[in-house]
Amino acid sequence: MPATHPVVIGVDSSTQSTKAAVVDAATGALLAVGRARHTVTGTGGARESDPEQWWSALGEAVARGLKEAGVAASAVTGIAVAGQQHGLVVLDPAGRPLRPALLWNDTRSAPQAADLTDALGGPDAWLARAGSVPVASMTAAKWQWLCEHEPATAAATAAVRLPHDFLTERLSGVAATDPGDASGTCWYSTADGAYDPALLQLLGLAPESLPVVAPSGATRVGTLTASAAAMLGLPDSVAVAAGTGDNMAAAVGLGLGGAGHLDHPVVSLGTSGTVFAATRTRPAAPGLAGFAAADGTFLPLGCTLNCTLAVDRFADILGLDREDAVPGDGLVVLPYLDGERTPDLPHAAGLLTGLRHTTTPRAILGAAYEGAAFTVLRALDELLAACGLDPADPAVRDRPLRLIGGGARGRAWTETVRRLSGRPLVVPFATELVALGAAALAAAAASGEDPVAVATAWGTGHGELHPAAAKDHETWDRIAGTLERATPALLS
């Protein structure tokens, strides 16, 4: 039904696709979601995409969303982009990509990440400045890889952007980013709230090649350029927000951060698995990404590379439906099909142990779920500890997890997380939290309101409560022991 209030558009530009959520700015009602696919190329550790495809997909997704919603273009007042984090986009002086973007899950830069860590004096030096230690996914490692493997391209680079920066600049004509997504580069200081000159010098990056860091993802950086307005079929008066990274946008969509304390921790089950929480403290731990939130507070995050996509691959190999799983029955699967980020095992492959004559395909699939869920939940324990909380404390353990992402809609995922965490879960009713978070940023850019307050009023974080189940310590300890014994081999 057409909106009777001003409308905003929240864009979720992810690894595999673009989604454009058309949202009633007054009520938060999701009127429609337009979608367009992306192509990811590369073999081995390479993962790349053409940024021009993201721009085309954004236009297609917006057009489809507006058509489905039946919304007049004149009703749209704001737009914001939330993008996949860490991707390296290098542009020529005319703003054209010099090569496909290196994506967050491109692991070729693992050696460069290790070299950068040593060059600054070790993990503690990086934590003090950037809040994170370089790993293969971080943009700084990807830039270093480019400098070493494609020096002519690096030398020709006039501008360096993250995926959401690239799209925001195409929309507004302004080279701007936000503290949240910038904090995933490893050249932005979460301690100082600005690019770190020493890190830029180490990387050989000119400050003028980078976008300006807006105060928040909700900052109005401009309005649509004439060309962007024509491409989208929207008025050039539409406000463009600075936007942010996908995880930061999901936090906004959940209403996290406004109270200024560690809220319900979040477990996101998507292509990657992530855990994060909003806090005003600045935790710094080697196994975590010490991100900033979209408003410049903090969003410590743990990320695993192998989550729903890896488990779905096991289902494909076994010829099973993804829900046709049972507990692992003594098996252990470490589904590290793309290497792994947390723990930092970039060259690892998948591992399966404990096979018997009685082993069934359903149990193997269940063990894949268990291995992926264990890896994510162990990162959650590290995050809580870094925030000064004891994961075993009943006051902490009984706090519900907010379970989001595509996996949160699956019975097998939900039950596996309940069993291995021993904690209650809240599964939000909203299914497009990244896009809804971006829409809240767009609404704030258009109105001047606080985006977390906007999302809270919309109620996008409300959901269904799943009571706690008894923690399956036997399975947890079996996986933990296997990982400990296997790590030396996985590192080789």
What's the rounded Cα separation, in Å, for the pair 337 and 305? 9
Residue 108 contacts residue 144 (beta carbons within 8 Å): no
For the record, the structure tokens of 435 come out as 């896009």
Neighbours of 93 (CB within 10 A): 9
The dihedral region occupied by 330, where left means phi > 0, alpha psi between -120 and 50, and beta the remainder, is: left
For the record, the structure tokens of 444 come out as 């704030």
- Residue of 12, 246, 338, 472 marked catalytic: 246
Residue 345: strand pairing partners: 340
3-state secondary structure of 463: strand
Tokens 């002086």, residue located: 93
Alpha helices in 133-221 (DSSP H): 139-149, 151-156, 163-172, 179-182, 197-203
> Crossing angle of helices 433-447/246-253, nearest 10°?
80
Residue 305 contacts residue 272 (beta carbons within 8 Å): yes
* CA dihedral of residues 200, 206, 210, 215 (deg, nearest 10): 60
What's the rounded Cα separation, in Å, for the pair 291 and 283? 9
Element containing residue 108 per DSSP (H, E): none
Report the Cα–Cα distance between both ends of the chain, in Å, rounded: 57
Task: Assess whether 246 carries a catalytic annotation.
Answer: yes
Residue 405 contacts residue 361 (beta carbons within 8 Å): no
Provide DSSP, 313-357. Answer: HHHHHHT--TT-----TT-EEE--BTBBTTTTBTT---EEE---T
**Tell me, what amino acid is at 279?**
T
Q: In the 8-state DSSP scheme, what is residue 381?
A: H
Give 3-state DSSP helix, strand, coil % of the chain, rounded to 5.
40, 20, 40
**Tell me, what amino acid is at 115?**
D
What's the rounded Cα separation, in Å, for the pair 451 and 95? 30
What's the rounded Cα separation, in Å, for the pair 87 and 108? 13
Q: In the 8-state DSSP scheme, what is residue 5?
A: S
Residue 140 contacts residue 185 (beta carbons within 8 Å): yes
Active site residues per annotation: 246
